[in-house]
Amino acid sequence: MFPIGFYILAFAGGALLSASSLPFWRCCCKRMGLMDMPGHRKLHGSPVPLAGGLAVITGLAVPILFAFLWVWLGSLPESFAHVVSYGLSNRGWQLAAILVGAIAMLAIGMLDDSRDLSPKWKLLGQVVIALAVAASGIRVTMFVDSDIFSYIVTVLWILTVTNAVNFQDNMNGLCPGLGIICGWFFAWHAGLEGQYLVASLAFLFSGALFGFLPFNFPKGGVFLGDGGSHVVGFLLSVLAVLPDFYSNASPYKWLLITPLLVLFIPLADLISVIVIRCRLSQPVWVGDNNHFSHRLVRAGHPKTRAVLLLLLVSAVTGAVTLFL
């Protein structure tokens, strides 16, 4: 039986590292000029540091690197050592690919924040990262025995979820809140299937976002920025693939809809805004104020309530998966 204490340690460690590193990264962003400036479609009246992604990566990367070091030195507690060593031996390269991919996504987003990257270059970078992840063995197969098919579907999935979650970084607390909720449900499903390393990674990710959330919601003292939202979207796309929703214990192929339900809000919002932009003959990559959160505000809800309503819907659709 895997000790529940390791899950608690992963969540708490990610939260503590993320929160404690944020003041440092905020100062760095101010010195580097990595700030979100007031302007079109932006309601804040003064520049805000884009330090959230750096803090989240800190909360994620430091524990992973320490876990590798502890296993290598053989100094993990005996109650953890067997399971962690087994997980790393079977999925160590995949975990390394995920971490490197997350850092690369952060770099792409930060370049976009600072230099306003062309959409084609940003998409190219995302494709390269997605291909690297697929090459590590993290792939969507959809019961089709074809490597080419699995590569194509995996890349499309990672691109879709990454950009769908990136679109949710439009109101304080929405993107990190969705990341916490969705990450928690993926952790829960992985834990139920006995995939302890995957569950620990998901709890670590949720904890890193939880440590950042108080600095962002509701007042918005620090933003995730494109870098942070890319990290959140990328990790959710990968965490949706890692758990075995279809197995001998759960032999129903329709259980593959689980990630779609967990990620219902970002995916539904992505489809909605694409339809609206196509109807208005606008490029789908150009931002607007037609996301679910904006429409709730136009309907008369305060921004904080609009965010909480969307998080509640996400929690409900995610909870449905626990009864499937």
- Mean pLDDT of all residues in 55-67: 93
Average pLDDT value for the chain: 89
User: Of 246-255, 280-289, 304-313, where does the model show the most confidence?
Assistant: 304-313
Give the mean pLDDT of 171-181.
97
- The more confidently predicted of residues 267 and 91 is 267
DSSP-assigned letters across all residues of 91-147: HHHHHHHHHHHHHHHHHHHHHHHHH---HHHHHHHHHHHHHHHHHTT----TT---H
Q: Is this prediction's pTM over 0.75?
A: yes
Around Cβ 120, how many Cβ atoms within 10 Å?
Answer: 9
Report CA dihedral (297, 299, 304, 306) to the nearest 10 degrees.
-100
**pLDDT the model gives residue 223:** 95
For residue range 93-128, list pLDDT tens digits in order: 889 999 999 999 999 999 999 888 888 999 999 999
**In b/e form, how buried is each residue of 163-188, taking b as 16+ CB within 10 angstroms?**
bbbbbbbbbbbbbbbbbbbbbbbbbb
Sign of the torsion angle spanned by Cα atoms 20, 202, 139, 317: negative
Contact 262, 202 (CB under 8 A): no
Of the pLDDT bands very low, low, confident and very high (cuts 50, 70, 90), residue 252 is low
pLDDT at residue 41 greater than cutoff 70:
no
Q: What is the mean pLDDT of residues 279-296?
A: 89
Q: Is residue 303 pLDDT above 90, yes or no?
A: yes
CB 26, CB 34: distance < 8 Å = no
Lowest mean pLDDT among 85-99, 125-139, 292-306: 85-99
Closest CA to 35 of 21, 23, 18, 52: 52
Looking at the predicted structure, is the pLDDT value of residue 224 above 80?
yes
Domain boundaries, the chain: 4-247
Q: What is the distance between the alpha carbons of residues 53 and 51, in angstroms, rounded to a whole number? A: 6
Q: How confident is the model at residue 284 (pLDDT cuts 50, 70, 90)?
A: confident
- What is the pLDDT, as a whole number, of residue 45? 60
> Among all chains, which residue has been given the structure tokens 């690369």?
104
Q: Return the number of other C-beta atoms located less than 10 Å from residue 135's C-beta.
A: 13
pLDDT band at 78 (very low <50, low <70, confident <90, very high): low
Share of the chain above pLDDT 90, in %: 68
Token duo for residue 50: 């884009």
Query: What size, in residues, is the chain?
Result: 324
